[in-house]
Chain A
Amino acid sequence: GAVVSQHPSWVICKSGTSVKIECRSLDFQATTMFWYRQFPKQSLMLMATSNEGSKATYEQGVEKDKFLINHASLTLSTLTVTSAHPEDSSFYICSARDPGLAGAADTQYFGPGTRLTVL
């Protein structure tokens, strides 16, 4: 299947700092990527849909000024958590669909996730 990478895999930062997480599709071009957040023992909550060359679409309740998303190329989307606070500590996961695959609408390929801890 298609491969999606994330970097970093984990990060610890001080409260008030900003953290950038990268999501890359390694062997396909992704016009659309998705960013999820997952708290321990909970489900994946969709934060936003990242669209190449245009603004991201945020889900209700997600602060777009706090979670900045940039999808500058067909293989890279970034999520920047600005002025991070301890409550932002979570597992952040990106995903992408490979539009070149049959049934592309049906299958998401997830990155390995980034565990953010804000002290």
Chain B
Amino acid sequence: GQSLEQPSEVTAVEGAIVQINCTYQTSGFYGLSWYQQHDGGAPTFLSYNALDGLEETGRFSSFLSRSDSYGYLLLQELQMKDSASYFCASNTGGFKTIFGAGTRLFVKA
């Protein structure tokens, strides 16, 4: 089967750093993506890891360990506008993507 597991909710304070973990089991794996979705909106692409290691894009970083079937999204200098749902997604080849259940991030003042 194919599944991606991530925590359902995370709460953090403004200015802090938060890490959202994702473990996956997929038949065929090309890489791990992260998407952000605000309530009522469509998902927007944040980052992608095809190789092990850390990818940094501004305040957001993403990490992948293929040997551990594990990745995480790191959000630094949290802002209120970062409150949203974050999905990890696995690219399983053939341009097909499977999404995790999503993690709702609540940023408090």
- Using CB atoms and an 8 Å cutoff, list the residues of chain A in contact with chain B: 1, 32, 34, 41-46, 49, 93, 97, 103, 105-113
If A43-B101, A46-B96, A97-B95 touch, whether A107 touches B45 (CB-CB below 8 Å) is yes
Q: B91, A46: Cβ atoms under 8 Å?
A: no
Q: Which of B29-58 contact A (CB under 8 A)?
A: 30-31, 33, 41-45, 48, 50
If A1-B45, A43-B87, A93-B42 touch, whether A108 touches B97 (CB-CB below 8 Å) is yes
Q: B99, A43: Cβ atoms under 8 Å?
A: yes
Q: Which 7 A-B pairs have the closest CB atoms?
A: A106-B48, A110-B42, A44-B99, A43-B101, A113-B42, A43-B99, A112-B42
- How big is the B interface, by class? 20 to 34
- Using CB atoms and an 8 Å cutoff, list the residues of chain B in contact with chain A: 30-31, 33, 41-45, 48, 50, 87, 91, 95-102, 104
Task: List 22 contacting pairs A-B, 8 Å CB cutoff, sorted by A.
Answer: A1-B45, A32-B95, A34-B96, A34-B97, A42-B102, A43-B87, A43-B101, A43-B102, A44-B87, A49-B95, A49-B96, A106-B30, A106-B31, A107-B45, A108-B43, A108-B97, A109-B45, A110-B43, A110-B44, A111-B42, A112-B41, A112-B42
Closest to B48 in A: A106
Chain A min CB distance to B105 (Å): 14
Give A103 to B47 CA distance when docked, in angstroms: 11
